[in-house]
Structure 1
């Protein structure tokens, strides 16, 4: 019987991937430890400390403990003192702003009145008195001037001069109120916003500083080429199969290349053909002979299409005299003796 060597078993891709992942994790942890370098400067220091572990599970269910590091920033003693003092100052300003906020709660709940009546009233209340005082002084000056000219009060000349004065005063008043209207609007808004601006100024000096985080080193795990491992495993198996098939074909070709000289001799002895199960594949039982021996459909390993016949080992158990050993140790069946 011809034997063919078995190809080496290809490495299991899952085990290979698991081993590669373990190596990658160990390398990454080592690189991470080398990357986190403590820093010490005159202004302060930065230190990295391991504060815990994170469990990582790979696709094969194996777990790894990945160290978690935290960054700690520390001021120098001088800078720490400045920081503490600044924080106290900002806290005091924040408290003052909070107190002022209670005083303006009523202002925030009231709408700003910029109606014409309110603006005119504001202008009259704040500036009309000064305007009237100026024109009262001008009128006294006019009376004195008319008296010096001998124009008596009640005379036509006096009435005409007073009428002209009143016309100029009214025109000036209209112009004055028009000019003061915009100023009155701005003043109303200023009075409304002043408390808010004061609080804003207090708060601007008491803002909480956001922490400044350093850029932590990053370490990435190398990826495992799982598909490549599987394909490589397949290629190895395919190569082994092709090698095994080639060796088997060569052996069988040499065996059956003996030709009809040997097989023909067996045929002359009444044996119909080689029926060794080891030389057949795709075997399908399709019935049995009258003697009870099963009948199969099959193909020889060297080709030649589908065949119908028996298996020599089964015939040998039932009718030993119908089976004989042929070339290469393969069994032959004498069909005339099994009907």
Structure 2
């Protein structure tokens, strides 16, 4: 009989997962070390140092020791002096802002008055006199123009001209007051907020500036697909096993198919010299190799033995034909 190949043992999922985890951890540690690149410039330096370790335990109970890093930045002597001086200036601004808060404590406790009366008062106090002065000059100019034209005061022409002037002045006054109303509101708010804005500006100048770290290029090692390699190796073994099993089955089928015509008689042309495309496909239980081959003089692929192999185990099963080539008695050979 032809020997049947043994199927490979399937990989243990737990061991496969553990192998993959170990590979991932090793790769992560290597990547961390490659990514922490120390930097040295004329303005200062940035160094990474291992500052401790943390442990990680996987689902199988295996513990990994992972390094943790800290970044240390050092200024050059000149930059350190500038930094110290800047800090002193900012500290002074912060103290000044704190002193100024006493001046605005009353402002924060008083509501902003944006009522119509207060806004109108603001307009009258700040801009109304300029408006009135301009129109007074325009009225004087108009009166002089009417006098030059011989239009006497109290005449119908004079009264019509002054009436038109008054209408234009009133329209301009309404427009002016409408425009100034919004400006007055903004001005009232600005005057109230000015001390607060000054303190805010002082405080913003006292903020501590954080160091700017340079982005360093990172080198990433690809993670080895350990689980994939294990499974791929298993699949390759399974493929080889299936191939060998198919060859074994083919060999058995071929040999059994020869039974009716060969058992009890002499096989035709069992000499290796008469065959080509020879490949071993299995082994009989008695150790004889089984081959697939074609006869040199033509024909399909066949399964059978080689007379030289049979002669070593069962010499009585081999006979030299008159043509000078061996024949094999399969009944004796496989017995």
TM-score normalised according to structure 1 size: 0.51
1:49 corresponds to: 49
Q: Structure 1 unaligned runs (5+)?
A: 135-167, 264-325, 331-339
2:78 corresponds to: 78
Measured at CA, do residues 124 and 248 of structure 1 come closer, stay the same or move farther in structure 2, by a change above 3 Å? closer
1:96 aligns with 2:127: no
SS of residue paired to 1:104: helix
2:8 corresponds to: 9
1:200 aligns with 2:213: no
Q: Structure 2 unaligned runs (5+)?
A: 134-164, 265-330
**Kept in 1: contact 2:97–2:199 (CA 8 A):** yes
2:272 corresponds to: none
Measured at CA, do residues 122 and 4 of structure 1 come closer, stay the same or move farther in structure 2, by a change above 3 Å? same
**Matches of 2:20 and 2:204 in 1, distance apart?**
56
Measured at CA, do residues 27 and 56 of structure 1 come closer, stay the same or move farther in structure 2, by a change above 3 Å? same
1:226 corresponds to: 227
**Kept in 1: contact 2:43–2:76 (CA 8 A):** yes
**Matches of 2:250 and 2:129 in 1, distance apart?**
126
Measured at CA, do residues 174 and 115 of structure 1 come closer, stay the same or move farther in structure 2, by a change above 3 Å? farther
Residue correspondence of structure 1 range 1-339 to structure 2 within 5 A: 2=1, 4=3, 6-7=5-6, 9=8, 12=11, 14=13, 15=15, 18-19=18-19, 22-23=22-23, 25-26=25-26, 29-30=29-30, 32-56=32-56, 62-122=62-122, 182=181, 185=185, 187-215=187-215, 217=218, 219=220, 221-224=222-225, 226-227=227-228, 229-251=230-252, 253-254=254-255, 257-259=258-260
Bigger RCO (CA 8 Å, 6+ sep): 2
Of the two, which has the highest radius of gyration?
1
**TM-aligned CA deviation for residue 70 of structure 1:** 1.9
**Kept in 2: contact 1:55–1:63 (CA 8 A):** yes
**Matches of 1:248 and 1:129 in 2, distance apart?**
118
SS of residue paired to 2:251: helix
**Kept in 1: contact 2:23–2:224 (CA 8 A):** no
**Kept in 1: contact 2:20–2:227 (CA 8 A):** no
Deviations 1:170-211 (A, max 9, x none): x99998999685575454333212211221221232123133
**Kept in 2: contact 1:10–1:236 (CA 8 A):** no
1:164 corresponds to: none
TM-score normalised according to structure 2 size: 0.52
**TM-aligned CA deviation for residue 74 of structure 1:** 0.7
**Matches of 2:184 and 2:174 in 1, distance apart?**
10
**Kept in 2: contact 1:54–1:65 (CA 8 A):** yes
**TM-aligned CA deviation for residue 42 of structure 1:** 2.5
Measured at CA, do residues 19 and 127 of structure 1 come closer, stay the same or move farther in structure 2, by a change above 3 Å? closer
**Matches of 1:238 and 1:130 in 2, distance apart?**
102
**Matches of 1:90 and 1:208 in 2, distance apart?**
8
Measured at CA, do residues 173 and 103 of structure 1 come closer, stay the same or move farther in structure 2, by a change above 3 Å? farther
**Kept in 1: contact 2:8–2:234 (CA 8 A):** no
**Kept in 2: contact 1:24–1:222 (CA 8 A):** yes
**TM-aligned CA deviation for residue 224 of structure 1:** 1.2
**Kept in 2: contact 1:13–1:226 (CA 8 A):** no
CA RMSD of aligned residues (A): 4.9
77-86 vs 206-215, which deviates more? 206-215
**Kept in 2: contact 1:4–1:247 (CA 8 A):** yes
SS of residue paired to 2:215: coil
2:160 corresponds to: none
Measured at CA, do residues 11 and 30 of structure 1 come closer, stay the same or move farther in structure 2, by a change above 3 Å? farther
